[in-house]
Amino acid sequence: MKTQFLLTALLIALGRPSPAADPTQPKTTLTIVGEDFHINGQPTYAGREWQGHRVEGLLLHSRMVQATFVDLNPETAKRWAYPDIDKWMRSAT
């Protein structure tokens, strides 16, 4: 539930035009389809993979945002596991 809230907040923040935005210019849209991110109706990194891992629909280089949250739910914490140590590292606080 927290993830959905955070993603909604991200979409709202990204969807706001800057004060200098030109209304005649095309707008970029970011949507979530299932668990995939789409930009202008297309999945990010369409058809691509990295070292055998599917990257289509991901937002690469966003790990720093995820790392600021602690997921205490054992059912979902495994989603954030680092591939090299197979667990989610969290602070002791």
pLDDT score recorded for residue 22: 73
- Which residues lie below 8 Å from residue 70, measured CB to CB, with a gap of 6+? 90, 91
Q: Does the structure show a pLDDT above 70 at 41? A: yes
pTM higher than 0.85 for the full model? Answer: no
pLDDT band at 86, cuts 50/70/90? low
Query: Long-range pairs for 67-70 at CB < 8 Å and ≥24 separation?
Result: 69/2, 69/6
Mean pLDDT on 58-85: 71
Domain boundaries, the chain: 2-16+27-60, 69-93
Query: Hey, CA dihedral for 75, 80, 83, 86, is it positive or negative?
Result: negative
Q: Are 49 and 55 in contact (CB under 8 A)?
A: yes
